[in-house]
């Protein structure tokens, strides 16, 4: 694709572009372990509509053949002979891809690139402080650093299958640590550094990790978080044997517990840069990532090695039309799945150059994203609508003063993008020349499910558009669970069959895996999202239909916020819903019933906001707390959230039937005292 043509003009010069699979490599028979394969696969992701259609069709009509071919985009130690064994049948859910193949994920992301790209930059690290020099880490340096990190972990007793929790800033060590785990066949679980000590402790305990890796401090937006201090607090609630490996970032003072805390630098000083790579099965776990569900505690989503890596690499290449020598920047944090798939695994398995940014979009000012794009000549830029809305509220001068002529593709992820934000992104940032790929996917899906491909898809502001290869979206009637087969449809979004990147289970809770995703609509994977399909067959995601809310692109279970609130001694009961928020997409609206001896006050509002912030993390801080003398309940005691949502949205005329309420008068009180009028 010429770098600056709009997607629908891609074929203007009549040159058919091939969306052919990556070059076929010679992989017949078993390969000796120490021979690393040919250079990675960046050739030919350019798309046009016909080739997308043909390739999509092939992926659905012959998934075995399609994925047998694309499974070869990574290096296998023992090549697979079985491709796909999947079922979404409610009484027999199982997902296996490439199951008899063996590989090492870190070798795929590093070693196989060394012969051809040892001196190429793998990671560009852009620190929080713009005056601190950026670092260009080559593939050779990445290899050395990951080798050392893996040897340190090994010396600390980490073995294949062990879990390792990472609680780190957005620094190269986060990528080193992830890849070091992968090298050893250990399972990492990255916990977002904005989460509280309690949230960290519950993830360490649930995963049964032996070790947590952190840094002294985490600079972000000019402020420093005391990460090590948070780990100290978390470990009070964990097994005594859990060790803490500390990477130096800020050099600040830290408290220290001998026999438990270890400085990474001290061990790394004598560590070899070579570390043997474990041979792992395609279906061995690569990582656990905790995410919010509609009920209960966060779910430990498990991704395995082979299928995930194939899918992360393939979506990274095709969705962003990543070409040789491009510089790719995904602004997510590695604490979220977007950072896993599109900062670390997808780009690195493709031999790409990936930017890792420690800071925030508004520090030192609202031009930071664009300053970094100019500085590092970024070609593909991938961010969230919440950031776009934040920046579009500032002067356009923050954008226009920078040279963004290297940008080719813009991406969006995390929540539906409103047309105003889409248009601003397109016109002011992309100058009308960069296709916007609105990528719909989830922690559970490993990689993109519904997205435009640059050049292949006609774009519509707000539409996620078309399914990626191998993905079969269906829209079901929410009541009957029947598939709506007309082209135009609206209902709940499910998937009919598995793709290689889908999670395999929930850590330690196989029953919940089935009940959370495969029980509501039998025979399908249920995304939890509502969706509309238009007359062109394009998909528009309309938002969650369960009790998950989306705050600034971060998933939050309303149940988590409720349980934090009721843990406060003055709170008797709480119900939490989302409401439309100009910047965050959704804000957190809490109805709180106090204990009879507690008095409502503005101070108590602040106290409860701070309390939830401390219990879960800053992203969970309630936006609104409304005192509720009573909550609307059915006679069987179920809180009627539908009514609470309407009141929070200030749609009090359409409350619907309230006759089943035990005490309809509580609703009048809530309406009279609602926060938004």
- Taking the complex as a whole, how short is the minimal distance between the CB of residue 527 and ligand 6R9, in angstroms? 6
Q: Which residues contact 459 (CB under 8 A, 6 or more apart)?
A: 7, 8, 435, 436, 452, 465
Structure tokens at 394: 């500032």
Q: How far is the CB of 8 from ligand 6R9 (least distance, A)?
A: 20
CB of 438 to ligand 6R9, least distance (A): 5
Please pick, from the candidates 527, 558, 609, 626, the single residue that binds ligand 6R9 as defined by CB under 6 A: 527
Task: Determine the interface stretch with ligand 6R9 among 191-199, 439-447, 598-606, 663-671 (rule: CB under 6 A).
Answer: 439-447
Residue closest to ligand 6R9, measured at CB: 443
Angle between helices 63-70 and 49-61 (to 10 degrees): 110
Selected from 75, 145, 284, 529, the binder of ligand 6R9 by CB under 6 A is 529
Query: Two tokens at 129?
Result: 């402080």
Residue positions in the annotated binding site? 220-223, 338, 414-416, 438-443, 529, 544, 552, 555, 566, 568, 571, 613
Provide the CA 633 distance to its chain's centre, in angstroms: 35
Binding residue for ligand 6R9, selected from 290, 422, 441, 469, defined by CB under 6 A:
441
The stretch among 165-173, 319-327, 332-340, 363-371 that binds ligand 6R9 (CB under 6 A) is 332-340
Binder to ligand 6R9 among 142, 286, 464, 564 (CB under 6 A)?
Answer: 464
Query: Which residues on neighbouring strands pair with residue 121, listed in sequence order?
Result: 138
- Determine if 546 is a binding residue for ligand 6R9 (CB under 6 A): no
Query: Contacting ligand 6R9 (CB under 6 A), which of 183, 249, 555, 581?
Result: 555
3-state SS, one letter per residue, for 657-674? CCCCECCCHHHHHHHHCC
Of the candidates 136, 294, 442, 658, which one interacts with ligand 6R9 according to CB under 6 A?
442
Please tell me the number of Cα atoms within 13 Å of 102 on its side-chain side. Answer: 14
Contact 211, 158 (CB under 8 A): yes
User: What span, in angstroms and rounded, lies between the C-alpha atoms of 54 and 82?
Assistant: 24
Contacts of residue 70, defined as CB under 8 A and 6 or more positions apart, other chains included, come to 21, 22, 310, 314, 469
CA–centroid distance for 148 within its chain: 27
**Residue 202 Cβ vs ligand 6R9, minimum distance, rounded to whole Å:** 18
Instruction: Please tell me whether residue 616 adopts helix, strand or coil conformation.
Output: coil
Q: How far is the CB of 344 from ligand 6R9 (least distance, A)?
A: 14
Sole binder of ligand 6R9 in the list 108, 319, 443, 586 (CB under 6 A)? 443
Quick one: 196 or 412, whose CB is closer to ligand 6R9? Answer: 412
Name which of 464 and 494 has its Cβ closer to ligand 6R9.
464
- Least Å distance, CB 285 to ligand 6R9, is 18
Q: Is 470 helix (H, G, I), strand (E, B) or coil?
A: coil
CA distance 581 to 22: 43
Q: Which stretch binds ligand 6R9 (CB under 6 A): 77-85, 335-343, 375-383, 636-644?
A: 335-343
Long-range own/partner contacts, residues 510-515 (CB < 8 A, 24 or more apart): 512/296, 512/299, 513/93, 514/90, 514/93
Question: By C-beta, is 178 or 464 nearer to ligand 6R9?
Answer: 464
Q: To the nearest whole angstrom, how small is the minimum distance from the Cβ of residue 6 to ligand 6R9?
A: 20
Binding residues for CoA: 220-223, 338, 552, 613
619, exposed or middle or buried, with CB in 10 Å at 0-12, 13-18, 19+?
Answer: middle
Q: Which is nearer to ligand 6R9, 309 or 337 (CB)?
A: 337
Binding-site annotation, residues for Mg(2+): 566, 568, 571
For ligand 6R9, give the closer residue by CB, 118 or 461: 461
Instruction: DSSP letter for 586, please.
Output: E
* Binding pattern for the stretch 627-666 against ligand 6R9, x by CB under 6 A and - elsewhere: ----------------------------------------
Taking CB under 6 A as the binding criterion, the range among 127-135, 437-445, 571-579, 604-612 that sits at the site for ligand 6R9 is 437-445
Does residue 186 interact with ligand 6R9 by CB under 6 A?
no
Quote the least distance from Cβ 444 to ligand 6R9, whole Å. 7
Binder of ligand 6R9 out of 438, 497, 538, 546 (CB under 6 A): 438
Site for ligand 6R9 contains 439 (CB under 6 A): yes
Structure tokens at 235: 């470990």
Exposure string for 274-296, b = 16+ CB within 10 A, e = fewer = ebebbebbbbbbbbbbbbbbebe
Cα separation, 59 vs 63, whole angstroms: 5
Of the pair 242, 429, the CB lying nearest ligand 6R9 is at: 429
Q: Is the dihedral of CA 72, 74, 75, 78 positive or negative?
A: negative
H helices present in 483-601, as ranges: 510-517, 558-566
Establish if 415 lies at the interface with ligand 6R9 (CB under 6 A): yes
Angstrom CA distances, 588 to 576, 578, 600, stand at: 7, 5, 19
Number of residues that bind ligand 6R9 (CB under 6 A): 23
Write the binding mask 254 to 293 for ligand 6R9: x where contact by CB under 6 A, - elsewhere.
-------------------------------------x--
Distance of CA 367 to the CA centre of its chain: 24
The DSSP code sequence of 84-134 is EEEE--TTS-EEEESTT-EE-HHIIIIIHHHHHHTTSEEEEEE-SSTTSPP
| Rounded CA separation 115/117 (Å) | 6
Interacting residues with ligand 6R9 (CB under 6 A)? 291, 336-338, 412-416, 438-443, 464, 527-529, 541, 544, 550, 555
């Amino acid at each position: 694709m010429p770098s600056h043509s709009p997607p629908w003009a891609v074929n203007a010069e009549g040159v058919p572009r091939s969306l052919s699979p990556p070059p076929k490599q010679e992989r017949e028979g078993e390969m000796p372990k120490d021979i690393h394969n040919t250079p990675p696969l960046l050739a030919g992701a350019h798309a046009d509509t016909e080739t997308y259609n043909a390739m999509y069709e092939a992926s659905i009509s012959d998934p075995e053949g399609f994925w047998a071919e694309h499974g070869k985009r990574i290096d296998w130690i023992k090549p697979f002979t079985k491709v796909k064994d999947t079922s979404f049948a409610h009484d027999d859910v199982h997902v296996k891809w490439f199951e008899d193949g063996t590989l090492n994920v870190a070798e795929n992301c590093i070693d196989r690139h060394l012969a051809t790209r040892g001196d190429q930059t793998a990671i560009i690290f852009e620190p929080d402080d713009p005056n601190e020099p950026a670092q260009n880490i080559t593939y050779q340096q990445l290899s050395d650093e990951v080798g050392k990190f893996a040897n340190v972990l090994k010396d600390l007793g980490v073995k294949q299958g062990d879990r390792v929790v990472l609680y780190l800033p957005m620094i190269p060590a986060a990528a080193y640590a992830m890849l070091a785990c992968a090298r050893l066949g250990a399972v990492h679980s990255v916990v977002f550094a904005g989460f509280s000590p309690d949230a960290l402790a519950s993830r360490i305990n649930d995963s049964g990790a032996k070790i947590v890796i952190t840094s002294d401090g985490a600079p972000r937006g000019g402020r420093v978080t005391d990460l090590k201090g948070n780990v100290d607090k978390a470990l009070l609630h964990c097994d005594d044997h859990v060790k803490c490996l500390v990477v130096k970032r800020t050099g600040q003072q830290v408290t220290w517990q001998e026999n438990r805390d270890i400085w990474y630098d001290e061990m790394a000083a004598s560590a070899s840069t070579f570390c043997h790579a474990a041979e792992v099965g395609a279906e061995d776990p690569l990582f656990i990532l905790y995410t919010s569900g509609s009920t209960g505690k966060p779910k430990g989503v498990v991704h395995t090695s082979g299928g995930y890596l194939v899918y992360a690499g393939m979506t990274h290449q095709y969705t962003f039309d990543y070409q040789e020598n491009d510089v790719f920047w995904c602004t997510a944090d590695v604490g979220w799945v977007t950072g896993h798939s599109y900062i670390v695994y997808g780009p690195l398995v493709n031999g790409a150059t990936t930017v890792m940014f420690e800071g925030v979009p508004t520090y030192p000012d609202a031009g930071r994203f664009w300053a970094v794009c100019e500085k590092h000549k970024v070609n593909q830029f991938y961010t969230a609508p919440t950031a776009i809305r934040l920046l579009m509220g500032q002067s356009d001068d923050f954008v226009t003063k920078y040279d963004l002529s290297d940008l080719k593709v813009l991406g969006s992820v995390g929540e539906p993008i409103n047309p105003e934000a889409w248009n601003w992104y397109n016109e002011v940032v992309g100058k009308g020349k960069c296709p916007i790929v609105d990528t719909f996917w989830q922690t559970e899906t490993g990689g993109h499910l519904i997205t435009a491909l640059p050049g292949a898809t006609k774009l519509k502001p707000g539409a996620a558009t078309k399914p990626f290869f191998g993905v079969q979206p269906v829209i079901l009637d929410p009541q009957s669970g029947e598939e709506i087969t007309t082209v135009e449809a609206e209902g709940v979004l499910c998937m009919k069959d598995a793709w290689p990147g889908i999670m395999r289970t929930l850590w330690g809770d196989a029953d919940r895996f089935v009940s959370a995703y495969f029980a509501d609509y039998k025979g399908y994977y249920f995304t939890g999202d509502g969706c509309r399909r238009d007359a062109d067959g394009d998909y528009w995601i309309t938002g969650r239909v369960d009790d998950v809310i989306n705050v600034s692109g971060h998933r939050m279970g309303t149940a988590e916020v409720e349980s934090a609130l009721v843990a406060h001694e003055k709170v008797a009961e709480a119900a939490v819903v989302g409401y439309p928020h100009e910047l965050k997409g959704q804000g957190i609206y809490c109805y709180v019933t106090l204990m009879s001896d507690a008095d409502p006050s503005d101070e108590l509002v602040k106290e409860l906001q701070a309390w939830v912030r401390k219990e879960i993390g800053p992203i969970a801080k309630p936006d609104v707390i409304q005192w509720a003398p009573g909550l609307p309940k059915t006679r069987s005691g179920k809180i009627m959230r539908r009514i609470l949502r309407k009141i929070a949205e200030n749609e009090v005329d359409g409350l619907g039937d309230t006759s089943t309420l035990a005490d309809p008068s509580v609703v009048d009180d809530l309406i009279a005292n609602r926060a938004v009028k």
